[in-house]
Amino acid sequence: MSCLMHFSIFSHFVSLTILVVLKQLEELLSDMKADVTRLPTTIARIPPVAVRLQMSERNILSRLASRTGEPQPQQMAQQ
């Protein structure tokens, strides 16, 4: 085979590969756009942290502030 024939086969293979990859990227982008479209309604259905913890925001902040610098229970168990 001549070099031109090899180049032609290689070029065709590369073109097909690029088309397949671009198609996959297009599908992924389409899926991501659909996910982003659904995101606001999904987030709106999640109750606030204070409701889920059944604590006031002030209590949550107080507990977070008091635990700063203290080792977490998991860290204590590892020692």
11/24 Cα distance (integer angstroms): 20
What pLDDT was estimated at residue 70? 61
CA 47 to each of CA 32, 42, 53: distance values in angstroms, whole numbers, following the listed order: 24, 10, 10
Give the three-state DSSP class for 56: coil
What residues does each domain of the chain span? 3-66
pLDDT tens per residue across span 20-79: 999 999 999 999 999 999 999 999 999 999 999 999 999 999 999 998 766 555 545 554
Say if CB 31 and CB 37 are below 8 A apart.
no
Question: What is the model's pLDDT at position 13?
Answer: 92
